[in-house]
Amino acid sequence: MADADTADWITARDAALLTKTVREAGALAQSLFRTELKNWIKGASSPVSEADIAVNDLLEERLRSATPDYGWLSEESADDSARLGKKLVWIVDPIDGTRSYLAGREDWCVSVALVEGASPVLAAVYAPVTDEFFFAARGRGATRNDVAVQATSGTDYDFPRMAGPKPLVQRLSATHDDVTLFPRIGSLALRLCRVAQGSLDAAFAGGQSRDWDLAAANLIVQEADGKMTELSGDAIEYNRREVMHGVLVAAGRDRHARIVEHFRKRPLP
């Protein structure tokens, strides 16, 4: 079998595996949603619950048993540096938006990407409460519930259609007046997917996001004719030793270019 044919076969196999597994994980998370759950704080302030762990266990068992040669990076698994030597790596957030999940709100999701080298090649983000399944394969477009999605065009700033840290977004205002933004979306992955589907014009991440918050949504935005980068315009690289990222922006390509140029001329302090 030729290399291209092999790659296509692996992509198709892994796409089917990813879709099935993320839907199963979402169903498990949904079954535990709004129930009494043990939860605690890890690190300085990051909440985690027994639901996060249960969903992580399901994803790890399904994905790693089917693809034993792939690496693994998950918010809820101990990091294994062996992933750095793997060509293909699963990058996983079992429940992105745990605070929203524990508060009984809808803005949480399961987010999984398959990364080749430093870039995602497959992505799934599933919001079970609203039954929204976002999917992308590199070079093949992005969908929401099997319908193609596309980021909005244009370069204007319509602040109620932007989301992210208010002090950051407000710097785009020519008058520096107070601006009204889209209501906060607790899941960063879901916030970015709203750009891909066109319900947001732009979304920002204020820093300290990790690979698992970003990788799947990054590909979905890219395949929806959008762009997502560091605020400098530099590409985001995944599966590196350091998995934390700085300030990021996602938008349709023309608007993204205008935002990046704005911050090049007026960099953050």
The CATH topology of domain 3-148 is Fructose-1,6-Bisphosphatase; Chain A, domain 1 (3.30.540)
Of 258, 248, 213, the closest CA to residue 96 belongs to 213
Which pLDDT belongs to residue 3? 53
Sheet with 109-116: list strands edge to edge: 71-74, 88-96, 109-116, 119-127, 132-137, 142-144, 147-148
> Is the torsion defined by CA of 47, 50, 51, 55 positive or negative?
positive
Rounded to the nearest 10°, the torsion over CA 127, 139, 137, 194 is -10
Within the chain, how many helices (H) and strands (E) appear? 7, 13
Predicted local confidence at residue 14, as pLDDT? 96
Q: Which residue intervals of the chain are DSSP H helices? A: 3-32, 50-66, 98-103, 166-169, 188-197, 211-223, 253-265
DSSP 189-210: HHHHHHHHHTS-SEEEEEEEEE
pLDDT at 5 over 90: no
- The whole-number pLDDT of residue 31 equals 98
pLDDT of residue 45: 81
The domain segmentation of the chain, as residue ranges, is 3-148, 159-265
In the prediction, which pLDDT does 11 show?
Answer: 83
111-131 tens-digit pLDDT: 999 999 999 999 999 999 999
Place of tokens 């099935």: 20
Structure tokens, 67: 């693809």
Q: Buried b vs exposed e over 20-31: b needs ≥16 C-beta within 10 Å?
A: ebbebbbebbbe
Q: Is it the case that residue 243 has pLDDT exceeding 90?
A: yes
pLDDT at 1 over 50: no
Q: How far apart are CA 1 and CA 199, in angstroms?
A: 42
Cα(176)–Cα(168) distance, integer angstroms: 11
Strands 244-252 and 109-116: unpaired
Distance from C-alpha of 110 to C-alpha of 127, rounded to nearest angstrom: 7
Report pLDDT digits (tens) over 139-189.
Answer: 999 999 999 999 999 999 999 999 999 999 999 998 767 889 999 999 999
- Which residue's structure tokens are 């980068």? 229
CATH top-level class of 159-265 = alpha beta
